[in-house]
Amino acid sequence: MSTLFEAIGAGDEDAVVRALRGGADPEADDDGETALYLAAVADEPGIVRLLLAAGADPGRASGPDGGDLPLCGAACGGHAGTVRALLAAGAHPDQQEEFGFTALAWAVRLGHAETVRALLEHGADPDRPGPAGDRKS
C-alpha cells in the first residue's frame, strides 16, 4: 500500500502502521475526508485505534463541508466496536454534525441497539432533541 488511504480502504492494519511510520499524517484528509472518518465508516476499529494512538482527533469533522463526524459515521453503520474506540479516545458523545445529528440520533433512527447502548454508557444524552427538535424516545 503506497498511501494511508489505500491501506485504510484495504483494511490492512500492517500497511497503516507502515504508512504512519513512514511519515503519513494521522490527521490526513483526501478531498476533505479524513483518514479517521474513512476508517470509522468502514468499521475498522483496529485502524481507528492506530490512527487515534498516532494523534488523530476523534472530534475532527470530515467531508467536503466539514460536517461529518467519525463517531456519527460509525453510529450510522451500527459499528459499536468502532464507536467504543472513538469514545474511549475522547470523542464527545453528543457532538453534533452539520445539520444537528448526533451519533445517538443516527443509531436510534437506524435501529442499532448495541451502538445506542455504547453511546448511553459513555454519557450520550437520551433527552437531547434531535435535528428537527424531536426527541429520540
Positive or negative, the CA dihedral 86, 89, 91, 92 is: positive
Q: What residue has cell string 474513512?
A: 38
Q: Please determine, looking at this structure, whether the domain spanning 4-121 carries the CATH number 1.25.40.20.
A: yes
What is the spatial distance between Cα 92 and Cα 96, in angstroms, rounded to a whole number? 9
Band of residue 43 on the pLDDT scale cut at 50, 70, 90 = very high
Domain ranges in the chain are 4-121
The predicted model scores a pTM of 0.90
What's the pLDDT tens digit per position in 48-81? 999 999 999 999 999 888 889 999 999 999 999 9
How many CA atoms are closer than 13 Å to the CA of 97, on its beta-carbon side?
A: 25
Whole-angstrom distance, CA of residue 106 vs CA of residue 119: 11
Task: Please state the rounded mean pLDDT for residues 104-119.
Answer: 96
Q: Choose between 129 and 23: higher pLDDT.
A: 23
